[in-house]
Amino acid sequence: MVNKPTFNLNQHFMRYFIFILSFISISSCVSTKKYKQLELSYTRVQNDLEQSKAEVAEHTKHNHALEQKLTTAYHENQLKDQKMASMQKEDLQKDLTIKSMEDNLSFVKTTNAELSKRMDDLSVFNKVNVEIMKKLLEEAESQHLKVLNLSLALQKQDSLNIQLVKRSKKNISDQKLKKSLEKLGFVFY
């Protein structure tokens, strides 16, 4: 608060009043010229007093207006401080959110890099497996061909054996045939 000037009008007025009373009491003993001079002086003092009262009232109004402005400015300043604190909290929260998002982004990048490396490893592994599978298929085909060839050869041999047996049967008796077949490993019941 602004200090108000302390100006007691009653004291000031009392001094002038005492001065004028003493002046009047003395003036009865004084000449008219002096009386008029004192009266003129009294009028000036009275005018000065009225002018001082008006100035005091004006300054009081001005002080009151300044106090209201000061109070308004103080409240506005408090509101601005509250807004500033709120904005700082929001900024802090946003900073924390950004930090969290950056951490998540870093984690995702790391995970993607690891997955990409694993995919590359799997791709190489799959290429190797494809080559191995091709070789195995080629070997299986060649073995299948060998088995087919052997099977065909056995069929031919069986056919030949059957033909031979049929021809031999005509030439050899059943008894001799059985003995010959038993020697080869055939068993008859």
Position with higher pLDDT, 85 vs 180: 85
Identity of the residue numbered 178: K
For position 39, what pLDDT does the model report? 86
Would you say residue 177 lies in a domain?
A: no
For the chain, what is the domain count?
1
User: If you ran DSSP here, which 8-state letter would residue 77 be given?
Assistant: H
> Binning pLDDT at 50, 70 and 90, where does residue 125 land?
confident
Domain for residue 122, yes or no? Answer: no
Which residues form the domain of 28? 9-91
Report which of residues 179 and 146 the model is more confident about: 146
Segment 39-54 shows an average pLDDT of 90
CA atoms of 138 and 131, how far apart (whole Å): 11
Across the chain, what does the average pLDDT equal?
83
Q: How many Å apart are CA 112 and CA 32, to the nearest integer?
A: 116
The interaxial angle of helices 32-171 and 174-184, nearest 10 deg, is 150
Dihedral sign (CA 6, 12, 15, 19): positive
Span of 75-84, 123-132, 141-150, 177-186 with lowest mean pLDDT? 177-186
- CA dihedral sign of residues 154, 155, 157, 162: positive
